[in-house]
Structure 1
Amino acid sequence: MAWIAAHGKQWTPQHRTEVQSTLERFAFPKIGSLALDAITAPIALDVVHSIEKKQAGETARRVRQRMGAIFAYGIACGLGTQPC
């Protein structure tokens, strides 16, 4: 993933693994196959709400924060136009 490659160099290996793992477990199953422009705010919110129902709120907060950073990075790189 381009966002992790770009930002992960400044993280500890443990943090990088945790970030990638939470995205793979919670976000990718629902939105991993979608193009950035296809991921709307309601779709992203559904990801967060599904985590809140099954996991701690802190996990949902972190995944939401990470998805926001990924969307901002993708938009800045010209990969999409819809902020989420």
Structure 2
Amino acid sequence: MLKRGKYLHYKGKEYEVLGVVLHTETREAMVHYQALYEIKNFDKNLYGEKITFVRPLKMWLEKVKVNGITLERFSFLQETNV
């Protein structure tokens, strides 16, 4: 099971995992998370002040290659009180 808490994306920004959720149509496990930085240019009337995202768990756990170096897409930093 994926730990809830803070994660660092390989591009340098931090996110907080709120939980793992189920896609109703495909039954795919999805990570529900939010950015820990200000996101501009989104419809706050639709999404509220704190926009959240989902990403397939499989993609969350993937490794990426940057300049020939293999990295975790997201690295766990610490638990939080989610």
When normalised by structure 1's length, the TM-score is 0.26
When normalised by structure 2's length, the TM-score is 0.26
